[in-house]
Amino acid sequence: MAHGIIILDWDKQKGPIIHASYFEKKLDFKKQYATRTFLTHASSGWDAEKVQEKLYLQFNEITMASHYFSIEEKEENIFRRVIVAIILRNDEKPHQYFKIIEKIAPNILENINLKQEEMEKFLKDIYKNEVKNISAKFTYEDIKDMIPLIKEEFKNRLIKNRKISQNIKQRFGELGIKVLKNLPQDLRIDNLAGSFKTNTKEIADILIWAAENGYIRLLKL
């Protein structure tokens, strides 16, 4: 289940801004993420044939399916740059959410100039009706060409918090503890299986569970 929806806009004076958002739980979407999102979409240029329309982006605490749109505003004779994005859980793949964005975007863009409170309520309704009940978790086939990145704060908690260690041990045995305590930062699943002398399915199960609980991020190669 995705965390929420965010609309990014390009202001002529301020540059990238957070235009509106709705999150089911509190999230800290920093302004620098808005800047990096726009710049990544336009890394090859702003022209229609150069801009990257769809991106799967991962920042420190944010994973998102992001879609760039250019809206013609005839009264001002300009094209407005807007990004509609769905904020995902760490263990979710983006492909299904791109389809949802394409479905909801026309309605969002048509109402882009609603007042702030109205826009937030509008996004809340869209989230509950179109996004909330979707689940697109990674499978073994999805993550076999990805690499895991463990969060440093989790590594510290794993060492100090006995409840977390016991939970992992109950699910995956000593292998789960060994993998998550000693996870290299640059190995794919098949290489990890060799390092820990086990099979790729067991490694995948551990990593998908850890991503679902926010302990690691799964990065595309």
Domains and their CATH numbers in the chain: 4-131 (3.30.450), 140-220 (no CATH)
Angstrom distance (rounded) from CA 99 to CA 14: 30
Confidence of residue 74 (pLDDT cuts 50, 70, 90): low
Angstrom distance (rounded) from CA 143 to CA 217: 11
Whether pLDDT at 135 is above 80? no
The set of residues, in sequence order, having a beta carbon less than 8 Å from that of 44 and lying 6+ positions away, is 50, 51, 52
Do residues 140 and 199 lie in contact, with contact meaning Cβ atoms separated by under 8 Å? Answer: no
Average pLDDT on 64-80 reads: 83
Higher model confidence: residue 78 or residue 133?
Answer: 133
Mean of pLDDT over the chain: 87
Angstrom distance (rounded) from CA 58 to CA 91: 12
Using only C-alpha atoms, the chain has a radius of gyration, in whole angstroms, of: 20
The set of residues, in sequence order, having a beta carbon less than 8 Å from that of 8 and lying 6+ positions away, is 16, 17, 18, 19, 34, 37, 38, 82, 83, 85
pLDDT digits (tens, 9 = 90+) for 165-184: 899 999 999 999 999 888 88
